[in-house]
Structures are given as C-alpha cells and as structure tokens.
C-alpha cells in the first residue's frame, strides 16, 4: 500500500490540509492501521520537495496545520500512471486494488476499467501457471495449484467488487 500515491489521489479531488488527508485516509484505507500525523506531514514534505504537490499560503490561525496542499501536474501524472497499471498478479493484492477502486470512484473515473485490467493480468498469470502444470511434474503442479487457487480467490473478489461498484460509488462519493 503506497501512502504517497494514495495521498496524491486524495489531493486530486481538491487541495486539502494534512488533517483532512489523514481523516480520509483512515476512513477508507487505514481502518486497521491509522496513519500517524507525523507520517502525513513527512510524506507531504517529500512530495513537495519532489514537485508533486505544492503547499499554499500559510493561513492565519493556530496549530501546525495551516497549509493547504494542491497536486501539481507532475503529481497528477504519477498518480494516473499508478492507477492505470495492474498490480503485480500475485495473491493478496486486495489492499492496493481496493485503494485504486475507491480512489477511481472518488474521482469519477471508471473503476470497472481498472478491475478489467487487473482481471486480464490475473488471467494471464493463471494461464502461465496452467501451462506450467501441464509439464508433467507433480511438484510443479502442486506449486502452481497453490498460486492458481489464490489468484482465483482474488478474481472472485474482483467479480464481487465489480458487481458492487454502484453501491460503493454512492458510499465514497457522498
């Protein structure tokens, strides 16, 4: 799970304070592991240094959180690239793919397209493992089976998520 890329995605909706980013991150992606404030500001500082976000003017008021950060064209490009590429088709990809789906829906993009890209990558990997199984080695077949069953579980999750996209969209957009 990439915190910098997820924050870039959240910033693409609108310029935000660090506090808003932490709140939304924890709501959608950090349920079992909330993001520490220190990590939010350290990440924003790095993104700012690399030209991917730009801090706004210091706003009047108390407390450390007086800058609103906006995504730059460079940051936007990096986020788009990440969103569109399939996750390495290894088992247990849910956290990253889940983040992509939620961010895509938040930003009004076609999450179904990303799920299809992932589905194709998974099926391609399953084809490779199936060919491996056909080579007559029982050991290879058993190892390939382990991968196939896990990839299949991911695909079932992708199918269920695709079927639930309209409801999910209502939840994350509202």
Partner 1 sequence: MSLTAAPVDIRSTDYLIEARDVVFDFGETPALRGANVSIREGEILAVMGPSGSGKSTLLHCLAGILAPKHGEIRFSGQRVDTLGDNERSALRRDSFGFVFQFGQLVPELTAEENVALPLLLGGLRRNDALGRAREWFERLGIDGLERRRSGELSGGQAQRVALARGLVANPKVLFADEPTGSLDSLTGELVMELLVTAARQAGTTVVLVTHEPRVAAYAGREVIVRDGLVSSLVPDTRAP
The residues that touch partner 1, with contacts defined as CB under 8 A, are: 116-117, 119-120, 122-123, 126-127, 129-130, 134, 148, 151-152, 155, 159, 163
123 versus 170: smaller Cβ distance to partner 1: 123
Residue 151: is it exposed, middle or buried by C-beta count within 10 angstroms (0-12/13-18/19+)? buried
47 versus 93: smaller Cβ distance to partner 1: 93
- Phi, psi dihedral angles at 93 (to 5 degrees): -95, 0
Q: How far is the CB of 149 from partner 1 (least distance, A)?
A: 8
Q: What is the CA radius of gyration of the chain?
A: 19
Q: How far is the CB of 171 from partner 1 (least distance, A)?
A: 22
Q: How far is the CB of 156 from partner 1 (least distance, A)?
A: 8
Q: How far is the CB of 126 from partner 1 (least distance, A)?
A: 4
10 versus 129: smaller Cβ distance to partner 1: 129
106 versus 158: smaller Cβ distance to partner 1: 158
């Amino acid at each position: 799970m990439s915190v910098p890329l997820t924050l870039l995605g959240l910033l693409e909706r609108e310029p935000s304070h660090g506090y808003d980013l932490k709140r939304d991150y924890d709501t959608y992606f950090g349920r079992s592991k909330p993001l520490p404030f220190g990590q939010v500001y350290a990440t924003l500082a790095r993104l700012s240094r690399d030209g991917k976000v730009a801090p706004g003017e210091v706003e009047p008021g108390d407390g450390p959180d007086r800058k609103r950060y906006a995504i730059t064209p460079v940051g936007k490009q990096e986020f788009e690239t990440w969103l569109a590429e399939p996750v390495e088709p290894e088992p247990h990809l849910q956290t990253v793919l889940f983040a992509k789906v939620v961010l895509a829906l938040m930003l009004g993009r076609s999450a179904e397209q990303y799920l299809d890209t992932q589905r194709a990558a998974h099926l391609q990997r399953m084809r490779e493992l199936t060919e491996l199984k056909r080579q007559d080695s029982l050991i290879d077949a058993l190892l390939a089976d382990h991968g196939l069953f896990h990839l299949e579980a991911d695909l079932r999750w992708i199918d269920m998520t695709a079927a639930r996209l309209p409801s999910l969209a209502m939840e994350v957009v509202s």
